[in-house]
C-alpha cells in the first residue's frame, strides 16, 4: 500500500513540473494566425456499374459498347425461355457532310485549282450544289440501314466520306457548263474487247467484261472472256438439272435456290450475247471514269455515257470519257489505266488516292455518237478544247495517252497435205464455200467445206443483225454490285 502511494505521488509531481515548464516557454508555441478552412471538394460522379469499352472496327467505325445488368425476380429456368432477357442493341450514328462551296474548302482539297482555273472565284459566284450530292448520301444511309445487321458489310469510313462536293459550274463568258466533283479515286478494271489485242485485268472480285460505253464488233475474234462465261452458263444449267431430279424439290429452300439460279441463267445468257456482238472499253488500257448510275439519266444538263471528262490529280490533267455506270452509294472511280498513271502501285484492289482530293470535270452533252473504237488523240483534242472554253489555263500539264494495243500475231500457214496416191471421190459442194475465217479473223484456205455461219454464234460479222434494228442487241446497262 505504501508503494502504491509513492507511485501516485511521483506521477503528480512530474505533472506539476511539466505544467510549469510549458508556462515558462520551453515548448514551441502554436501559431496565433487563423487558417481558412479548405473548400469542400466537388464530389466525383459515380458511374453506373457497367463495363465501358471503345474500339474501332476494320471499316473505320468507332465502336462504343457497354454491358448493363439488371436484377430480375424470375429464375434462370424462366429467363432462358424469353429472348428479351438477353439482347444486344445496335445504334449507328452518322454525320452527313455539307457540300464544299467556298474556294477555301475546295482549294483545301485540290490547291492547284487556283492556278489551273484563273477565273476560279468568278466560276464559284454562280455555282450551285447539284441535287446529286444529297442523293448520294441518302443512298449511303439507305445502304447502311439495309446492312446494319451484318457489321462486315457496313461501308468503310473512306467510302462513306468519299465525296467533297458536286457543283454545277458555268463560264459566263463562253457559257460552257461543267460538273465539278471532288472525290477520292477508286479503281475500275472492267471491260474486255475481242477486236483489240488487249488482255483484260479480271482479278477483281467485282470484274465485269462489259462497260456501258460499247460499239458493234468489227471482227470475228472472240471476246477473251467468252470461255469463262460459257463455263459459267454450263455450271448453272447443271445445277438447275440437279434441282429438277432432287427429291426435295418442293422445299422452300430449294425453290429459293431454283429462283436464284434462273435469274443467274438469264443474266449469263444476256452477257454471252453481248460479248458475241459488242466491243467494250478495257479498264487497264482505256482512260475513262465511272459515275453512280443515278447520276446518268440522259436528262438535259446531266452527264451521259460518252461525255468527255478531265481528271485533275497532283497538278496533272488526264483526258478521259465517262465510260461506265457504278453503284449508287459511292463515287470517284477511274479506269485502271488512269490509276496506274497516277500511282504505279495501283491494282484492281489498291486505289491510288484515298482521300477526296481528286477533281473530276465532266462536260454534259459533249459525247460523240455513235460510239466507236477509242481514239485517244481525238479524245485529247476534245478535252483540250472544252478545257479552254471553260477558262482553263494554257500552262496546264497534260497526260497524253498512247495505245497499249499489240498487233495480232501473223497466223501460221497450215502445212500442205501430202498427195494421196489413192484416187478420192470429189466432194459434192460448191467451191464458193471453200474458205473459212481463221481464229484471227483472216481468210485462210480450208480443205473442208465450211458451214453457213450462224448469226447467233458471232463468228461472222457480216451475219450480225444491225444493232440499230435488232432489239436483241440493245445494250443492257451494266452496273457494279450494289
Could you read off the pLDDT of 259-293 as tens digits, one per residue?
999 999 999 999 999 999 999 999 999 999 999 99
Domain ranges of the chain: 103-191+285-398
Q: pLDDT by residue (tens digit) across 211-269?
A: 999 999 999 999 999 999 999 999 999 999 988 887 665 677 888 898 999 999 999 99
Q: pLDDT by residue (tens digit) across 323-341?
A: 999 999 999 999 999 999 9
Per-residue pLDDT at 66 exceeds 50: yes
Per-residue pLDDT at 298 exceeds 90: no
Nearest to 292 by CA among 476, 142, 139: 139
Q: pLDDT at position 12, please? A: 54
Per-residue pLDDT at 470 exceeds 50: no
252: which residues sit within 8 A by CB, 6+ positions away?
none
| Burial (CB count <10 Å: 0-12, 13-18, 19+), residue 394 | exposed
Tell me the HSE value of 309 on the side-chain side, using a 13 A CA sphere: 30
**How would you classify residue 474: left for phi > 0, otherwise alpha for psi between -120 and 50, otherwise beta?**
beta
Nearest to 182 by CA among 241, 112, 77, 246: 112
Domain covering 103-191+285-398: architecture: Beta Barrel (2.40)
DSSP letter for each residue of 156-220: PHHHHT-EEEEEEEE-TTT--EEEEEEEEEEEE-----TTTT------STT--S--SSEEE--SS
Give residue 363's pLDDT band: very low, low, confident or very high (50, 70, 90): very high
Per-residue pLDDT at 443 exceeds 50: no
Amino acid at each position: 500500500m505504501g508503494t502504491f502511494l509513492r507511485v501516485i505521488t511521483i506521477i503528480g509531481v512530474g505533472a506539476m513540473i511539466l505544467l510549469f515548464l510549458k508556462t515558462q516557454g520551453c515548448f514551441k508555441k502554436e501559431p496565433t494566425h487563423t487558417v481558412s478552412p479548405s473548400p469542400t471538394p466537388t464530389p466525383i460522379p459515380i458511374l453506373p456499374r457497367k463495363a465501358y469499352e471503345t474500339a474501332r472496327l476494320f471499316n473505320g467505325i468507332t465502336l462504343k459498347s457497354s454491358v448493363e445488368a439488371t436484377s430480375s425476380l424470375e429464375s434462370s429456368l424462366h429467363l432462358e425461355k424469353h429472348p428479351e432477357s438477353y439482347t444486344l442493341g445496335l445504334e449507328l450514328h452518322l454525320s452527313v457532310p455539307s457540300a464544299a462551296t467556298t474556294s477555301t474548302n475546295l482549294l483545301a482539297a485540290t490547291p492547284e485549282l487556283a492556278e489551273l482555273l484563273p477565273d476560279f472565284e468568278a466560276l464559284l459566284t454562280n455555282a450551285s450544289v447539284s441535287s446529286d450530292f444529297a442523293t448520294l448520301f441518302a443512298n449511303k444511309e439507305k445502304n447502311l440501314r439495309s446492312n446494319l445487321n451484318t457489321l462486315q458489310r457496313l461501308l468503310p469510313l473512306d467510302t462513306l466520306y468519299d465525296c467533297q462536293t458536286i457543283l454545277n459550274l458555268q463560264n459566263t463568258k463562253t457559257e460552257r457548263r461543267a460538273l465539278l466533283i471532288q472525290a477520292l479515286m477508286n479503281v475500275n478494271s472492267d471491260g474486255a474487247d475481242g477486236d483489240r489485242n488487249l488482255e483484260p485485268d479480271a482479278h477483281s472480285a467485282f470484274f465485269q467484261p462489259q462497260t456501258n460505253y460499247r460499239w458493234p464488233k468489227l471482227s470475228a475474234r472472240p471476246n477473251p472472256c467468252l470461255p469463262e462465261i460459257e463455263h459459267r452458263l454450263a455450271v448453272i444449267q447443271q445445277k438447275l438439272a440437279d434441282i429438277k431430279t432432287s427429291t426435295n424439290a418442293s422445299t422452300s429452300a430449294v425453290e429459293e435456290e431454283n429462283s436464284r439460279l434462273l435469274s443467274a441463267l438469264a443474266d449469263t445468257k444476256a452477257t454471252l450475247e453481248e460479248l458475241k456482238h459488242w466491243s467494250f472499253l478495257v479498264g487497264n488500257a482505256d482512260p475513262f471514269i465511272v459515275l453512280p448510275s443515278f447520276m446518268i439519266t440522259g436528262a438535259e444538263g446531266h452527264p451521259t455515257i460518252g461525255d468527255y471528262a478531265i481528271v485533275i490529280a497532283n497538278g496533272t490533267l488526264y483526258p478521259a470519257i465517262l465510260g461506265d455506270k457504278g453503284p449508287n452509294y459511292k463515287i470517284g472511280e477511274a479506269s485502271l489505266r488512269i490509276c496506274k498513271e497516277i500511282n504505279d502501285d495501283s491494282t484492281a484492289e489498291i486505289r491510288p488516292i484515298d482521300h477526296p482530293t481528286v477533281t473530276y470535270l465532266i462536260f454534259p452533252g459533249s459525247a460523240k455518237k455513235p460510239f466507236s473504237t477509242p481514239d485517244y488523240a481525238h479524245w485529247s483534242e476534245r478535252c483540250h478544247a472544252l478545257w479552254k472554253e471553260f477558262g482553263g489555263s494554257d500552262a496546264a500539264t497534260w497526260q497524253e495517252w498512247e495505245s497499249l494495243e499489240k498487233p495480232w500475231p501473223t497466223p501460221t500457214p497450215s502445212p500442205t497435205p501430202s498427195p494421196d496416191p489413192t484416187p478420192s471421190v470429189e466432194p459434192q459442194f460448191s467451191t464458193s464455200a471453200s474458205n473459212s475465217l481463221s481464229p484471227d479473223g483472216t481468210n485462210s484456205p480450208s480443205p473442208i467445206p465450211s458451214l453457213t455461219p450462224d448469226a447467233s454464234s458471232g463468228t461472222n460479222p457480216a451475219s450480225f443483225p444491225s444493232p440499230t434494228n435488232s432489239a436483241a442487241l440493245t445494250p443492257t446497262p451494266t452496273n457494279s454490285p450494289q
